[in-house]
Amino acid sequence: MLIASQLRPGIVLKIGPDIFKVFESTYHIGQGKMPGSVHARAHHVLTGTLKEFRFRPEERLEETQLDKHEMEFLYADGDSATFMNPDSFEQVSISLEAIGKATKFLLPPMKVPVEFYQGQPVSIVFPEIVEAKVSNTAQPVHQQQDNTFKDAKLENGVEILVPHFIKTGEIIRVEVATGRYVDRVRADTKRF
């Protein structure tokens, strides 16, 4: 059991027959005679739908665990992504809706932890920042200003804004949730 005031992103809750993974949790202080409350936003692990909850801080919640297995991404088709266990060669599919924004950054042979609930694959644990290669952008301009941006297309087809000094072929870091440029990867660091 878990007390609502201890809710943190990443915790998995069982509420009735449903399983939710918390991705945002905030405590709201009460005013006057109004008690405080814990507000949580969570995804249903099977359907991927978003739900918001409000709990009393002392309310007891049932916490559950998801099993994680490191798997290799193979391909994505119309509505699902397929992953393979590198030891047993077993393949599983997860809906693109359950994976969310991370879908566009999945490239073979990337390895990611796949989460299972009662033997059924439900989601993946994707890093907040990924590395991607710039496949097309305008010629670099070396100026004193680093706060101006230009369009760039990444190897996965995603279009983002990058600083003017970035050139085609360079590897950059991108924030998955927002699709924003973070920084450039040095040539001596390794991808994946």
Q: What is the 3-state secondary structure (H, E, C) of 22-67?
A: EEEEEEECCCCCCCCEEEEEEEECCCCCEEEEEECCCCEEEEECCE
pLDDT tens for the 192 residues of the chain, in order = 889 888 888 888 999 888 898 888 998 888 877 888 999 998 888 777 889 999 998 999 999 888 889 999 999 888 888 999 999 999 999 888 777 778 888 888 889 999 888 888 888 888 888 888 899 888 887 765 566 788 999 988 889 999 888 889 999 999 988 888 999 887 655 554
Q: Which domains does the chain have, with CATH numbers?
A: 2-64 (2.30.30.30), 67-124 (2.40.50.140), 129-184 (2.40.50.140)
Structure token pair of residue 24: 């945002």
pLDDT score, position 189: 54
pTM over 0.85: no
CB atoms within 10 A of CB 66: 18
Q: What percent of the chain has pLDDT over 70?
A: 94
Q: What is the pLDDT of residue 53?
A: 92
CB 164 within 8 A of CB 184: no
